[in-house]
Each structure stands twice: as structure tokens, then as C-alpha cells.
Amino acid sequence: MSTSLKVAIIMGSKSDWPVMQKATEVLEQLGIAYDAKVVSAHRTPERLMEFAKNADKEYQVIIAGAGGAAHLPGMAASMTWLPVIGVPVTSKALKGMDSLLSIVQMPKGVAVATQAIGEAGAFNAGLIAAQMLAIHDPELQTKLKAWRKNQTESVGWEVE
Ligand SMILES: Nc1c(C(=O)O)ncn1[C@@H]1O[C@H](COP(=O)(O)O)[C@@H](O)[C@H]1O
């Protein structure tokens, strides 16, 4: 794995980690270094401010996952120019629809790249982060193309 950190994965609570861990799968397969931390806009607002204001010194992309009233991705995006990829974590009460709507419906002028609810969204957050980093990294582009080819070849015709 590359030694310089490129992707920050932040989440509103430790309880989000089983879902957010899916974001690390592609990053690990492609050798992209990441850091994962609990940062909550609601419960640790000062930690969020400190993190978001300094994020561009350490990272190139931020993945932010939260559930329920999921203000973390949008608030992080409001304090950094780095791209923020939002993951709506599945919630008990509303199955993640609350998370999705509160992440996706950003006001014009502050962007969050919102993914699907739950594990598929977290996985794809890692994937799209890798694709962003690959724009200026030919070596990573080669690895990504091989990863995609392998995925395509692994889909069989047979149902059993
Ligand atoms: N949505 C947010 C924020 C935030 O957006 O700042 N901080 C915590 N949370 C969410 O609260 C849910 C329940 O958290 P607990 O399991 O700790 O009670 C989690 O899904 C978390 O992302």
C-alpha cells in the first residue's frame, strides 16, 4: 500500500463501521492508503471543523458516511474544497431513506457525491474515490482497468 494517505473515511458513529468498512475493500485491492475516523457534525462539531479545515493537507478525497439526520457529509463539504462522497448508512427507523434524503438534497453551490444506501453505497464510495484518484495516476488507471476486467469476467452465464 502506498505510504501517503489519500482517502479519509469519516463516519458519524462507530456503529456505522460495519457498513463503512465496505469502502475499504476496493481501496485495499488497489493499494490506496486510507484513514478511518469517527467524526460527527452533531456530537463532535469541533472535531469536524478541525478535520475538514485541515483535510486537504493530508487527503485528496473524503468519504463521509452517516445515518438518520445525516448532516456529516454536507457539513464536511461546506468546509473543504476536496470532493466529498456521501454514504447514506441504513437506519433502523426509516431504513436509510432519511440518511439518503438528508445527504443527497444539498443546496446549490455545495456538492456531495451521494451513493446508494448501505453496503453497496459504501463499496461504491471506495470505487469512485479510486476512479477520482486514477485521473492523474496512470499506474492506478492500469490497476482499475484490470479490476474492472476481472469483475466482468467473474460474471457467469449460468444461473446455477
Ligand atoms: N448522522 C449522524 C451524525 C452527523 O451527521 O453528524 N452523527 C452521528 N450520526 C448518526 O447517528 C446514527 C446513530 O448513531 P449511534 O449508533 O452512535 O447512536 C449513526 O448512523 C450516525 O452516523
SS3 1: coil
CA of 9 to the centre of ligand 1 (A): 14
pTM, rounded to two decimals: 0.96
7-56 residue pLDDT tens: 999 999 999 999 999 999 999 999 999 999 999 999 999 999 999 999 99
89-112 residue pLDDT tens: 999 999 999 999 999 999 999 999
Q: State how far the Cα of 147 lies from the Cα of 143, in Å rounded to an integer.
A: 6
- Establish whether residue 70 lines the binding site of ligand 1, counting it when its CB lies within 6 angstroms of any ligand atom: yes
Q: Give Dmax over CA atoms of the chain in angstroms.
A: 53
H-helix or E-strand containing 83?
Answer: none
- Establish whether residue 13 lines the binding site of ligand 1, counting it when its CB lies within 6 angstroms of any ligand atom: yes
Atom of ligand 1 nearest to the CA of 16: 20
Supply 148's cell numbers. 474492472
Identity of the residue numbered 147: W
DSSP string covering 109-121: TS--EE--SSHHH
Residue-level pLDDT at 160: 87
CA of 5 to the centre of ligand 1 (A): 25
In the annotated binding site for substrate, the residues are: 13, 16, 43
**Residues listed for the chain:** 160
CA of 76 to the centre of ligand 1 (A): 14
Q: What is the ipTM of this complex?
A: 0.99
Cell 456538492: give the residue: 111
Cell 460527527: give the residue: 40
Write the CB contacts of 29 (distance below 8 Å, at least 6 apart in sequence): 147
Percent of the chain residues topping a pLDDT of 70:
97
72-85 residue pLDDT tens: 999 999 999 999 99
Supply 109's cell numbers. 453551490
- Establish whether residue 89 lines the binding site of ligand 1, counting it when its CB lies within 6 angstroms of any ligand atom: yes
SS3 149: helix
Residue-level pLDDT at 5: 66
Signed CA dihedral, 50, 36, 139, 81: sign only: negative
